[in-house]
Amino acid sequence: MSGTEGSWQGQVHRIVAGIGDGRARIDRGVVRDLVNTYLVRSLDMTALRFSIPVLLRARPGASGPGADGAAGVIIEAIKAAVPAERDLYPIAGTGTEHPRHCLPNVEPVTLIASGSAVGTGLWRPDDGNRIDDAGVHLVIRGALPYPGPPAPAAAREVEERLGALIEALDRVVRRVPEQTLAAARALSVDQKVLRRVLPGMGLVAFIADGTRPARNFTPLRCHHRISGPKEGVHVPFCCPPELDPVEVELAGSGRIATGLGLRRREVFAVAGSNAEGKSTILHALIAGQDDHAAGDGRELLVSVNGVARAEAGERYLAGADVSLFFASLPPGLAGAPRAAFGRGSGSLVMAEEFQAAVRAAAPLLILDEDRSATNLLVPGCLQSGEVTPLATLLATRREALGETGMQLPSHLTVLELRSRGNFALRCLVARYPDRAGRPDPAA
């Protein structure tokens, strides 16, 4: 006897077979039981949770380069229509006892493409939600009030609700203006092509003037790569003239953008007082590996792939190479500087992560002052000659760090490197406009 016989899952194929017409229908070619196609009773027994793959007719020219941007516009248009379209209520679980379980289905998302797994629990463009020559593919999830066992009358009710849902999806998609879809496709191409051509320009990242990197966190978007733009006061980025702004032509839209270009192999510092946005810029550079929708604020902040970061922390080291920084191991660790074993301190862990990034030829390495071991960044009065801090390495053995460029948000590192007089260092001073009277901390 099948484990689904007599259950709602056992009825799912019969129910979806009668749903939809030529314009909007079940995407039968991608049906995967209990993955993207299911009808299951919720754990609290009060709702019927569902997932169905849907195929909608797309406008001519909707597929092709940048189609993930257009898919993002369509998904967000559907989310925005849920409160006003009764037939879309099941997406939000409206009418069930616990609609909050469906919040991931309607949470706004401004991320359209990412090589990371961030935001995979939210509804956004991905392999299941895309546009191609066949049309608009969407995986629709939600919940209905539990209608009881799958008797014929209850099954017909569920089939009718899901059929009405698919028809409502088609109505929303047809209302999305063509110019909005075209602009979203062009913006996606802008980011993808720029990321591809940056190395040929000698750059590892580009921050366009007007970028708004600060984030607004929500319970479902609590990581900087998936979170949306900050509300209220949000100071846009503007590249200072002394940092030699660069100009790029955007392949999708044909626009010209100006901004700050971070160069290959360069050490670039972001300095400033507390809460001035130093870490915000660094987080945005990491998120620059992703593609963003219009309005995100970071849509023209683009980084090459492979950005790494090194942070202090305590954990076990299993054969860690820390030899760039440590000539000998501190007490309590076994092995040698090229293969250390034992519980590593903050500076040892950071050294291992730093060397791993250099060994992997990471194009850009992020060092955040708030998460760094200061005694690994600059010399200290109590430091022994067995430890070579980063500032000393940069000033005396830059070649040991290979092609990796670095972002340093540290006053101490800036001052130490500038005190040596023989090290070229570009520095961005983060400062809110209303604090412009303060002295330059990097001067």
The pLDDT assigned to 423 comes to 54
How much of the chain exceeds pLDDT 90, in percent? Answer: 72
pLDDT of residue 409 exceeding 80: no
pTM above 0.85, yes or no: yes
pLDDT of residue 438 exceeding 60: no
Report how far residue 424's alpha carbon sits from residue 395's, in angstroms, rounded to the nearest whole number: 9
Region 110-120: what's the mean pLDDT?
94
Report how far residue 6's alpha carbon sits from residue 150's, in angstroms, rounded to the nearest whole number: 7
Quick check: 53 and 27 in contact, CB under 8 A?
yes
The pLDDT assigned to 394 comes to 83
β-pair type (135-145, 228-229):
unpaired
Q: Helix or strand or coil: residue 304?
A: coil
pLDDT, tens digit (0-9, with 9 covering 90-100), for 46-101: 999 999 999 999 887 788 999 999 999 999 999 999 999 999 999 999 999 999 99
pLDDT, tens digit (0-9, with 9 covering 90-100), for 279-326: 899 999 999 999 999 999 999 999 999 999 999 999 999 999 999 999
Question: What phi, psi does 130 have (nearest 5°)?
Answer: -155, 175
Q: Helix or strand or coil: residue 168?
A: helix
pLDDT of residue 436 exceeding 50: no
The pLDDT assigned to 443 comes to 38
Residue bearing tokens 């860690």 = 320
pLDDT, tens digit (0-9, with 9 covering 90-100), for 200-242: 999 999 999 999 999 999 999 999 999 999 998 888 999 999 9
Q: Which residue has better confidence, 276 or 234? A: 234
From the list 24, 49, 45, the residue with the least C-alpha distance to 36 is 49
CA 70, 125, 200, 303 dihedral sign is: positive
From the list 315, 347, 348, 317, the residue with the least C-alpha distance to 334 is 317
Region 32-48: what's the mean pLDDT?
96
The count of other CB atoms within 10 Å of the CB of residue 370 is: 12
Query: 3-state secondary structure string, 219-249?
Result: CCECCCCCCEECCCCCCCCCCCHHHCCEEEE
Spell out the domain ranges in the chain: 8-176, 199-307+362-443
Q: Which residue has better confidence, 349 or 435? A: 349
Report how far residue 423's alpha carbon sits from residue 33's, in angstroms, rounded to the nearest whole number: 61
CA 354, 355, 360, 362 dihedral sign is: positive
